[in-house]
Amino acid sequence: MWSPGSSPWATQSPLLGMLGMRLFFGTPMTRRVAVASLLGISGIVAVFYPELARLQGGTAAAMGALFTLLAVLVSSLGSIVAYRNQRAGVPLWQGMAWGMLYGSLSALVLGVASGHGLTFETTPRYVLSLAYLALLGSIAAFASYLTLLKRIGAARAGYIGVMVPVVALFLSAAFERFSFHPLTWAGIGVSVAGNVLMLRTERA
């Protein structure tokens, strides 16, 4: 169940976003946003504590944790850059297209450099899954996130990193027979409370 994408470290995005907004744009660090971020982090740690308790240490686990931390830092920095671009008047779709182009070229270079060849299957399952990832998982998802980023800033938009694992739990329960631990339900409740607090901040 534990993976870099669902790591509690990934929930640091709201705090990093808040620090970045303060550092680069002078946005005030409100107490309510800070408390909401801490609630989200605490909730996700509680959700995944049973899995983390069974995690065995080793080189692979250490490397996974390191890459997760780097991914969170890069993601938070990317949100700050995107927010800066939007403030500078860069149109949403053009900016997103250039960003995806740079990302795709970087992934291509890394893939080729690591010795992995390019493959493509003509099966319906492969084509449909690729179309889903490209249209909904990438274009629609990033357009929605960048719109939210423009409206409420990197700190509040970063709370997505808290709520995504909660949604993933219910999907895992529906399709992978994941069983909820009492600590899981408690963590979900704390995370949702933090989300409600975050949204109340925006309305205020």
Residue 200, both tokens? 């109340």
Q: Which residues of 106-134 are buried (b: 16+ CB within 10 A; e: fewer)?
A: eeeeeeeeeeeeeeeeeeeeeeeeeeeee
Confidence bin at 130 (pLDDT 50/70/90): very high
pLDDT of residue 14: 67
pLDDT of residue 9: 47
pLDDT of residue 126: 92
Q: Is the dihedral of CA 79, 150, 165, 182 positive or negative?
A: positive
Per residue in 157-202, pLDDT tens?
Answer: 777 777 777 888 888 888 888 888 888 889 889 888 887 887 774 4
Residue 123 DSSP code: S
- By C-alpha distance, which of 172, 197, 169, 203 is closest to 185? 169
Per residue in 69-108, pLDDT tens?
Answer: 787 788 778 888 888 888 888 888 988 888 889 888 988 8
pLDDT of residue 25: 76
Per residue in 132-167, pLDDT tens?
Answer: 999 998 899 888 888 888 887 776 777 777 777 788
Query: Is it the case that residue 23 has pLDDT exceeding 90?
Result: no
C-alpha 140/C-alpha 183 separation (Å) is: 33
Residue 94, both tokens? 């053009």
Per-domain residue ranges for the chain? Answer: 4-203
pTM over 0.75: no
